[in-house]
Chain A
Amino acid sequence: MSQLTDALASNIGAGDGAGTESGQGKAKKPAKPPKVPRGKFSIHLAHYKWLYLLLLPGVLYFAVFRYAPMYGVSIAFKDYVPFLGVNASPWVGFQQFQDFFANPDFGRLLGNTLILAFLSLGIAFPLTIVLALLLNEVRLSILKRTVQTLVYIPHFLSWTIVASLSFLLFALDFGPLFLFINNVLGTDIDFLSDPAWFRPLIVLQDIWKNTGWGTIIFLAALATVDQDQYEAAIIDGAGRFRRVWHITLPGIRSTIIVMLILAIGQMLNTGFEQIYLMTNALNRGVAEVFDTYVYFVGITQGAYSYSTAVGLFKSLVGIVLIFGTNALAKRFNQSGLF
């Protein structure tokens, strides 16, 4: 899912940048007349049989691995029995959803998920913009490139590695960060199992892994801000911070809004791998979120229909959130996502 946002983000970034111009130029070119008269489909098919043959594996892939699971979502409204299969299992309507909303787990999961989401929106998101702005102010290109090279690296590491590094750095009694923080605070906290430290740890990992990579999209937007405005502002006597406040930030406002809409749409998607890896018996109460709950209830306990309903609820809320924020952004006269 994070790949999705990344790529979607780059898509939107291209819309802000100069990159779109060549694309528009292409579209204006008069379309070539089709080489085959648009008559019978069978003639078309025969003429392009090799192309359709090349297309076949990909289409099969989408049918089997993307669309069949969408059909499988129907078990959220059934009582799935493995040996009956998806089709023959009996319908139960909204029973699974009712069970979920009535379950005491529901409130806890929603709370845990929302707290992590708001921490990410409130801390990691602005930090990304701040880092991009600071990088943008650097005129020493070797320093800029070196810092960029370093801060992009963690994005390419797996959550398993990030979790393992955390286990070592915060290891009880000898981890460097365990010793350092406990020394400063004069405490003896086991960060890895203390429920109070679960969320700070998750946010910290998130910042380390993704802040650097997240700046790419903002740096691309910053590069398109009209340079003449800065010269005019300098002549008018505007200082560094006023230029950032009155020119740079308004210049990348549409990118910030688009990224915010996307981030809000992804709110309930607390990365499964990260949370799963950092969850343990002691911090389970604050750690469990929708994604990990779906895994534990569905895969390890076999409640397939129930967990599919939980997953479906989560995706529907995500879609509502994305359309809701988009409508809100438009209402306040900002350019939305669509």
Chain B
Amino acid sequence: MKIHNTTGGRIFDAANYVFLSLIGIITLLPFVYVFAGSFATEAEITRRAFFVWPEQFSLGAYEYIFSTPAFIRALVTTVLVTVVGTVVQLVLTVTMAYPLAKRNLRGRQLIMSLVVFAMVFSGGMIPTFLLVKDLGLLNSYWALILPAAINPFSLIIIKNFFQELPAELEESAKMDGATEVGILWRILLPLSKPVLATFALFYAVGIWNDFMSPLLYLSDNSKWTLQMYLRQVTASSDLLGTGNVDPNYIPPEQSIKFAVIVVATLPILIFYPFLQKHFAKGMLIGSVKG
């Protein structure tokens, strides 16, 4: 389409470009500041109001946190829970989605209706907490993985994706004597790799970022995840009145806080381009068809 560019139009375009660039930069600035601050000395952080590049480069904050057992424990725990949790959640979602994609499986409609109802109405915080408690999962890492194991939306999207795959693929495999499980494993999964990778990333981000589950289910602070640790480190002393923070805890130097935030943020930023590749293509948006 050809646009007749008037002077007013050009001024608007220029202003719009400048404005949007500013929005982009403002979004990014907090990261830049924290990243720069994590490599700065304590003196520089308290002296300079704002900076994007440290005058004096220091690894002190990182040396400190990576020699703190509580931090290392939280980091290792979070990585393990994220990896195991993502695998468990993805396997549960895929194994449920595959049979539901079979149009002639009986009971399919009923199960789908129950799944949809579960998206609209949930038991809420307390009944779920009591269930986890009754199952003996308090202070267990499974409490961070199982209660949210299958995201109903992911389930429906993956089910629809399986349904869209050409039926001929399965029929020819069946003629060659493949079983249903064999078809899923050898034919459908290799074809769905990009889709599954995307959902794996979304599940992983969900577990990594989760603050509410560890807050509810892990009272033992030797089991804390990185988000819980981060909360304790960055909450300033006047914020300590809200519970779940050890009253004897002495807030650390500012540079330590910067470094812990960077460590908690970095994995998300590293995986972000992979996430973005898919949702930018509209895959998630276009592939939901109810």
Contact = CB atoms under 8 A, between A and B. Distances in A.
Contacts of A148: 280
B181 A69 contact: no
B256 to A, nearest CB: 11
B290 interface: yes
A158 B264 contact: yes
Interface stretch (B54-62, B65-73, B79-87, B128-136): B128-136
A181 B106 CA distance: 63
Number of contact residues on B: which range applies? 35 or more
B106 A44 contact: yes
A326 interface: no
B93 interface: yes
Given A59-B96, A171-B254, A137 B13 contact: yes
Given A174-B46, A280-B241, A69 B289 contact: no
How would you classify the secondary structure of chain B's contact residues: helix, strand, loop or mixed? helix
A-side interface mostly: helix
Given A138-B16, A273-B212, A58 B150 contact: yes
A307 B115 CA distance: 26
Given A20-B289, A52-B99, A55-B111, A147 B24 contact: yes
Given A72-B131, A168-B234, A156 B289 contact: no
B109 interface: no
Contacts of A165: 30, 34, 261
A277 B239 CA distance: 9
Interface string A1-27: 001100110110110010110110010
A51 B180 contact: yes
Nearest to A241: B12
A50 B180 CA distance: 7
Nearest to B49: A179
Interface in A68-82: 68-73, 75, 80
Contact of B4 (A20, A67, A234, A294): A234
Nearest to B174: A35
A100 interface: no
A80 B287 CA distance: 44
B268 interface: yes
A43 to B, nearest CB: 11
A35 B167 CA distance: 13
**Residue among A51, A143, A308 with the highest chain B CB neighbour number at 10 A:** A51
Contact of A138 (B17, B28, B37): B17
Which of the listed residues B125, B261, B265 has the most CB atoms from chain A within 10 Å of its own CB?
B125
A150 B27 contact: yes
Interface string B251-290: 0001001101100110011001001100110101111111
A149 B276 contact: yes
B128 A147 contact: no
Contact of A167 (B17, B126, B235, B242): B235
A240 to B, nearest CB: 6
B124 interface: yes
A193 interface: yes
A248 to B, nearest CB: 13
Contacts of A139: 3, 13
A17 B233 CA distance: 46
B189 interface: no
B1 A231 contact: yes
Contacts of A134: 16, 19-20
Given A32-B167, A151-B23, A153-B272, A294 B151 contact: no
Nearest to B289: A23
B119 interface: yes
A90 B208 CA distance: 40
A58 B97 CA distance: 9
Contacts of B289: 14, 19-20, 23
A161 B265 contact: yes
Of B120, B234, B269, which is in contact with the most chain A CB atoms at under 10 Å from its CB?
A: B234
A273 B211 contact: yes
A216 interface: yes
A104 interface: no
Contacts of A19: 282, 285-287, 289
B24 A151 contact: yes
Interface stretch (A105-113, A117-125, A296-304, A328-336): A296-304
B191 interface: no
A34 interface: yes
Given A26-B164, A65-B146, A161-B265, A54 B184 contact: yes
B211 A160 contact: yes
A298 B125 contact: yes
Nearest to B257: A168
22 contacts: A7-B154, A19-B286, A20-B289, A22-B164, A54-B95, A54-B184, A58-B95, A61-B150, A72-B128, A86-B130, A139-B13, A150-B27, A156-B275, A158-B264, A163-B231, A163-B234, A164-B233, A169-B33, A180-B50, A234-B3, A299-B216, A315-B121
Interface of B: 1, 3-4, 6, 8-9, 12-13, 16-17, 19-21, 23-25, 27-28, 30, 33-34, 37, 45-46, 49-50, 92-93, 95-96, 98-100, 102-106, 111, 114-115, 118-131, 134-135, 146-151, 153-155, 157, 163-164, 167, 179-181, 184, 205-206, 208-212, 215-216, 227, 230-231, 233-236, 238-239, 241-243, 254, 257-258, 260-261, 264-265, 268-269, 272, 275-276, 279-280, 282, 284-290
- Closest 9 CB pairs between A and B? A69-B123, A58-B96, A72-B127, A281-B241, A7-B153, A158-B209, A164-B234, A176-B50, A311-B124
